[in-house]
Amino acid sequence: MQDKQAEHSLQRVTLLMVLLNAFTTPLMLSAVNVALPAIATDLSMHAVLLSWVPMAYLMASAMFVLIFGRIADMVGRKRLFLIGTGSVIVTSLIAAFAINGTMLIMARFLQGMSAAMLYATQVAIVSSVFPPAKRGQAIGLTVSTIYLGLTVGPLIGGYVIDTLGWRASFMVHIPLAVIVLVVGLFFVKGEWSAEERGSFDLFGAMLYAFSILMVCIGVSWLPSSLSFIFLGVSVFGFIFFFLFERAHKHPILDVRLFFSNRVFTFSCLASLIMYTATFANVVQVSLYLQYLKGLSATTAGAIMMCQPLTMAIFSPLAGRLSDKFEPRRLASLGMFISACGLLLLSNLRIESNLNFLVFSLVITGFGFSLFSSPNVNAIMSSVEKRLYGSANGVMATMRIIGQMTSMVLVTLMFALMIGSVEIIPDNYPALENAIRTTFMIAALLCIPGIILSMARGKLRY
């Protein structure tokens, strides 16, 4: 009986630690997205350079999440989780006091690198503590808390930006992050790591990070001829990385999972497509509301809450349903609904009614909530317990690469349709076209995602 109580106590306090952290990082992220117009004005950043404020964060997260997932398996998931929490606090302060655009982008890169430690460990810690029968609900709560942070972030961020300036948006999450450190250090007992530590694949890690860097630089320099060289190098880098990892005894990315586990493979690919299609919504809607509609940061933040609030409400329900019903059906339906919402958003114009925007965001958010928790549950439930760290690393990598690709798409549209100029009223028609085109491409991307989601096979026989 005492062992049972101790186990339940550990589950509660560990979930509290993860949930607090799952709330704080998205809180900061969504607050910063609202701050982009203010940052552009204060630091005199043109459209393409401004897109690198979120891009640098995502690029660093994508470069390092796999690496930290492997390190977490070796040295302990909780240890790396707490190091990441402390690092996010420090790098957030550096970003808040940036004196120019270059310093801010460098700080955002370091911030994304720090956050990668959290992305690589959150779900792995939850999966390590909770048994399979309760895992879907715990994951659903974690996902819901992330969306809760995304929900209140625009509103809180908009308020502090209007009252204290854009620098405050990088600091709103710090008090809660400090609490996470206290809970993790003094109340969460124990550690979780892989049964076999193995060795660290340094060459594979460097090759992977280099390939991600080449993609981002290549896209940002489009349509110059040099950009195609960078993109070509990245393609060869990823191919070589994939072949090298397949032959390595202790890879940072266990690509053998993709060959032996259809549910895992197709679920990860569906996640990659879904995040590519939907992540840039918040950035584009922020620019649309503040530039094209002329709204304040506070008002824009309140409207931007609609999509993540919908996700926060329905994600726990979707998580519980995925414990009882086949995840692929829930996830596929969710992606279809999100595609409909993105198609509506592709019709946004300067004169569009705000009620139309809110409705479109709610539809997109509802579809995403039906997709996300069941898809995560399918991924983690399709592998053995000893592979939780690797599976979480792959899953986080798919999510972050999807988010990064979503911003790559935005950067590409800005480069092609607006160019390296500041966003002023003369450029508003070009900004509108860039936003609408990006949403249309995102909606079309969901078609192969739905096919992959349905084709993944059954998790329960």
State pTM to two decimals: 0.79
- 78 neighbors 389 (Cβ within 8 angstroms): no
Find the CATH number of the domain harbouring 116.
Answer: 1.20.1250.20
Instruction: Label residue 357 by pLDDT band (50, 70, 90).
Output: very high
With vertex at residue 400, the alpha carbon angle to CA 394 and CA 404, rounded to the nearest 5 degrees, is 140
Lowest mean pLDDT across 193-197, 278-282, 449-453:
193-197
Question: Is the pLDDT assigned to residue 330 strictly greater than 80?
Answer: yes
Could you tell me how many helices (H) and strands (E) the chain has, helices first? 18, 0
Instruction: Label residue 215 by pLDDT band (50, 70, 90).
Output: confident
Owner of token pair 């090298």: 244
Q: What is the dihedral of CA 58, 37, 273, 361, to 10 degrees?
A: 140
Domain count along the chain:
1
Domain range spanning residue 115?
2-185+250-455
Residue 105 included in any domain: yes
- What is the tens place of the pLDDT at every residue in 143-162? 778 878 877 888 888 889 98
Residue 255 included in any domain: yes
Average pLDDT over residues 445-450: 92
Q: Which two tokens stand for residue 342?
A: 């993105």
H, E, C per residue of 92-155 = HHHHHCCCCHHHHHHHHHHHHHHHHHHHCCHHHHHHHHCCHHHHHHHHHHHHHHHHHHHHHHHH
In the chain, the amino acid numbered 235 is V
Residue 210 included in any domain: no
Q: Classify the phi-psi angles of 165: left when phi > 0, otherwise alpha if psi is within -120 to 50, otherwise beta.
A: left
Contacts (Cβ under 8 Å, ≥6 apart) of 3: none
Average pLDDT over residues 1-20: 78
Segment of 54-58, 382-386, 387-391 carrying the highest mean pLDDT: 54-58
Question: Is the pLDDT assigned to residue 355 strictly greater than 50?
Answer: yes
Residue 201 included in any domain: no
Residue 224 included in any domain: no
Residue 196 included in any domain: no
Residue 202 included in any domain: no
- 404 neighbors 58 (Cβ within 8 angstroms): yes
Segment of 33-47, 119-133, 336-350, 386-400 carrying the highest mean pLDDT: 336-350
pLDDT of residue 461: 40
With vertex at residue 442, the alpha carbon angle to CA 368 and CA 65, rounded to the nearest 5 degrees, is 65
- What is the tens place of the pLDDT at every residue in 183-194? 888 888 777 766
Residue 243 included in any domain: no
